[in-house]
Amino acid sequence: MAITKIFYHTDFENHIPTLNNPECSKRVANIINLIKEENFANISFVEPNKIKKELIYAAHDKNFVDETLNKFPENDEIVYLDQETPVSQGSKDATLRAAGAGIDAVESILDGSCKNAFCIVRPPGHHACIDRSMGFCVFNNVAVAAHYLINKYSFSNIAIIDFDVHHGNGTQDIFYNNKNVNYYSTHQFPLYPGTGDLNETGVGNIFNVPLVSGTASDTYKKLFQEKIINQLKIQKPDFMIISAGFDAHSADPLANINLVENDFSYITDQLKMIANNYCEGRLLSMLEGGYDINALEQSILTHIKILQT
């Protein structure tokens, strides 16, 4: 039976567990129990391995990676990699497992032991640029996974779809001149980090869909179909990666887009159909944002429900 693998490790709860920060441990502390209560028929839980730092070099500057790994504290200190990106004693293991989850998921999808995968990771990744951490993100988890696909398995037609409410400036930065990857993003604009305008097109591989504050379900679905799904049908990708941020939910405190849980079900269903039609179902999803705990939990459940059916 084809299954969906859920990659999770308790190390993700040890990343800045004591700090009153929106990207907090409570975001994931109860999610595995909630998933188990749903009695999904086709899922399997996996603990991801820590990534080897050499694999991170593919997406990031080597000096930046080495310097960042040396900044993690070994005591109760909190260190800020930038003004929005704190790390604690438990953050190094969490960071290495977050990036490692994408690698493990890629291997599972390609060896046929699962049909798709969802990595419930902390810290998130899509703001991490080639040579800097920012916006709660240390290393760019989806970019590391995409480069792994390119370098080890010679994939050359990858799609990364980012529905986080904040633009994934780091992912765009890393792939801006890389024709092996098309990057698609829906995001509130203007909003942190200030990137993601229509004129940012890379080498014809960047597709930004900026959304005005207050955008609701009907408008979002129309734009998603016209600007994302229709372009994916033109691209016909051979592997799909999702930056799954659930902070476009109406309850989220950090933005003002008015989606609800059913909208994330719709988004997931549409992307899964593209994967089934063009990628032999190869679909990797990795958690990014989402800062209202209940809204995040319920949205994750809707996401998994579609992935595993």
Q: What pairing do the DSSP bridges indicate for beta strands 206-211 and 239-244?
A: unpaired
**Burial of 260 per CB tally in 10 Å (0-12, 13-18, 19+):** middle
Half-sphere exposure of 268 toward its Cβ, with a 13 Å CA cutoff? 25
With beta carbons less than 8 A apart as the criterion, state whether 175 and 183 touch: yes
With beta carbons less than 8 A apart as the criterion, state whether 264 and 217 touch: no
- Read off the amino acid at residue 77: E
Residue found under tokens 């994302």:
228
With beta carbons less than 8 A apart as the criterion, state whether 246 and 166 touch: no
Give the separation between CA 195 and CA 8, rounded to whole angstroms: 30
Residue found under tokens 């039609």:
277
Helix/strand/coil for 87: strand
Catalytic residues: 127
Helix/strand/coil for 37: helix
Contacts of 277 (CB under 8 A, 6+ apart): none
H or E element in which residue 93 lies: helix 91-110
Q: What is the CA radius of gyration of the chain?
A: 17
